[in-house]
Amino acid sequence: MTNWQDEAEKIRPQLLADLSTLLKIDSSRDVAHKTDEFPLGPGPAKALQAMLAIAERDGFETLNVDNVAGRIAYGDGDEIFGLFGHMDVVPAGPGWETDPFTPTEKAGRLYARGSSDDKGPSIAAYYALKIVRDLGLPVNKKIHFIIGTDEESAWVGINRYLETQPKPDFGFSPDAEFPIINGEKGIATFAITFKPQPAAASALTLTSFTAGLRVNMVPQSATATLSGTLPDTWPALLTSKNAEPGITIESEPTADGITITATGKGAHAQEPKDGINAATHLASLLASLHLDSTGHAYVQAIAEHMHEDSRGHHLGIAHTDSLMGDLTASPDLFTYQPTGEQSVMLNVRYPQGTDPDQIISAITATLGAANVAVTVSGHAQAPHYVPSSDPLVKTLLDVYETHTGQPGHEQVIGGGTYGRILDRGVAFGALMPDAENVMHQANEYMTIDSLIQAVAIYADAISRLAN
């Protein structure tokens, strides 16, 4: 009987060396520098090429699809068993104590953007596949390890792959949590665009409001500029706001007014409560000032309907399902110019029982059709669920229990993984249930021991599922 943990320990040095190579690449989507060769920018393509080069070095058959997706293949059979990882990362953002693209080991933790989401788990799954191959274990299915480069945004890579390559029959993505994720809420980002309002003279005018890096990241910082004269109560308002936990407001005079910057805590948009939204805090502060009517309408809508309300009650979109839990709402990108764009991008993770059309209707009714237009930005993903009775789910839970001694159970999350691509697709690890989730946050890390344990779990799972 194979001792999977012993086999995983043997590859620890090489895994860390290869992972370090991947983590050094800033592979965040960068379409501002896209070319015909690099449709998503050079970083995602470079990371994909590096991952495929590792597999080629080790003797695997590989495929590069237009520098936006790739495949590592092994085995043969009538069915295709799929593994799904991604090499893109969200932007590093502020607040790091180390260089996010210089992998740094401290106290058994490997710090870098992508260490947990998803380069670390992907390399763990790769080495698991390599162990199965190197041990010569029986495989009677094709195994396709499919690698995307745009999972954090529009799924360009994986969609392009599926246009030209066969879809696996079943599989899992090492891009979430153990014991398993066999359900995922629907995901949609709603563009709330404020309609132009007649300008009115004011002693204090909002001249800009900006916040956010991506639609799936709670904004850690936000900045507003005002022109005109601040009220005498401003110092007291600033002091009061700074007394609130986890939020810092700083201001700096300008030639005609002031620049105000708020700093909170970033987080993955799947659970807004894990962060402190700098933008909504800043809006709530500005809403207490006598701003011009247009600026006031913008910050008041945010303060009244989006601030500290992760379940969408104040927007009228709250919904709970007994299986999938609560809808979550995370306002993540903010743009305001007095005579230009005035918008909020709201990322919503919704359970079964509601849909984008209902959400649009509710937001429009709450904010007023005369004031805003609400549309889906990009593509909406419907809720996904693989029953706990499915042999795939049963096998993976048994593997988890064997390696951890802990009882397995099904889970539904607000995050979106490539597991939802397949009718029989799930997410499986690599984050342990008691581990801190720092995906999309500053100082992202993965413990090295947990990566090695994930290799053992994945190798056992691949061996069972491919046989």
Phi–psi pair at 194, nearest 5 degrees: -80, 135
Query: What is the maximal distance between C-alpha atoms in the chain?
Result: 79
Q: One of 7, 66, 88, 117 is an active-site residue; which one?
A: 88
Task: Respond yes or no: is residue 151 known to be catalytic.
Answer: yes
CA distance 442 to 429: 21
Task: Respond yes or no: is residue 152 known to be catalytic.
Answer: no
Which two tokens mark 315? 């927007």
- Among residues 113, 127, 103, 106, the alpha carbon closest in space to that of 12 is found at 127
Q: What angle do CA 222, 246, 230 make, to 5 degrees?
A: 50
Q: What is the chain's alpha carbon radius of gyration, rounded to the nearest angstrom? A: 24
Q: Residue 376, class by beta-carbon neighbours within 10 Å (0-12 exposed, 13-18 middle, 19+ buried)?
A: middle
Which two tokens mark 270? 């799947």
Which two tokens mark 87? 């090499």
CA distance 79 to 140: 8
User: CB-based contacts of 353: which residues, under 8 Å, 6+ apart?
Assistant: 319, 321
348-368 in b/e burial notation, b at 16+ Cβ within 10 A?
Answer: bbbbbebebeebbebbbebbe
Q: One of 26, 66, 151, 332 is an active-site residue; which one?
A: 151
Contacts of range 236-241, beta carbons closer than 8 Å, 24 or more positions apart:
237/285, 237/288, 237/289, 238/285, 241/281, 241/285
Residue 186 · residue 355 · CB < 8 Å: yes
DSSP 405: -
Mapped onto helix, strand or coil, the DSSP state of residue 145 is: strand
Catalytic residues: 88, 151
